[in-house]
Structure 1
Amino acid sequence: MHDSLEADPFRRDIIALIPRLRAYAMSLARSDVEADDLVQETLMKAWRARASFQPGTNLQAWLFTILRNAFLSETVVRNRTTQDVDGRHAAQLASGPNQEWRLRYGEMLGALHQLRPHAREALLLVAASGMSYEEAARICNCPVNTMKSRVKRARASLAGMIGFELAGDVHAGAED
């Protein structure tokens, strides 16, 4: 197996990016099952289209773009019925944890999911995935300044929702 990975750098590099793909998929899909399906779909599409990938370009950005497009396509055709495959909705009916950090984490996740999709996506690409504004802008097909603005407003909105004061008293503006 080791030799086959060395012989195929494309395969090796894709495998190394799976954790980042899954984190991004989780931010979009909001469930383990949907995120895993989205990553699997992304990997299959990437493998089928590997001839169109240009070595030396940004593989992570290419994969994130495939993942994002797969998610958007699925969202357009998705049946609007509520499925509780992983028990997420049922878990909301249970009493919450009493540890302060767990409550704050849950509050932050809830607030994150209340952000507009463009804002949430921008914040997660830049802040959580560690991408540059330029990489995130390419993935989202928008200007770099738009990406910077989305991230700034998303941070301010998120901070306001969870009662965290940002340095410089940043206020959330209208979304684009």
Structure 2
Amino acid sequence: MATMSVELRDEVVACIPSLRAFAASLVGVGDRADDLVQEALVKAWANIGSFKQGTNMKAWLFTILRNTFYSAHRKAKREVQDVDGQYSSALAEHPGQIGHLDFEDFRMALDELPEDQREAVILIGASGFSYEEAAEICGCAIGTMKSRVNRARNRLSEILDVTSADEFGPDRTAHAALTTSSVPTVKLSAMD
């Protein structure tokens, strides 16, 4: 951290009333304005080495204060106020290990499909193409594409031993833990 000369310090101190007035115009009179001025002065002090002697100290400090305000404003727009903890208590995440293992099982099952069925189910289920678009990509009729997707889904169900859409999502232990703590669960549905 650079040292500040007495002249620079006096120049900064002389700008404080103007900084307070500017901060009050941005956030209103009170503690928030004082906090904004304080934060700007701390930043200015930490970066005093970048200030060029002979330039306008007041303009430099106003720029720092303005940038500090807008940075805080952008950050606040991305944050959620949760004073009483109600929002955070409703958040739950399923254990990642199970999902990773399920994905590996799915990937291996996908590899067992014939190439035309694997291609069809990836185009429709994973890439989001319509049956018409997928049929055009593969150079086949729409009915052929629908048939390939249906056979692929049935074969994946057999390989993965899935009998209903209720089997997607958390396992019984995770589901019990989530419902016992009165946290809402998100149910994953089967591919359409």
| TM-score for both structures, normalised by structure 2 | 0.38
Higher-Rg member (1/2): 2
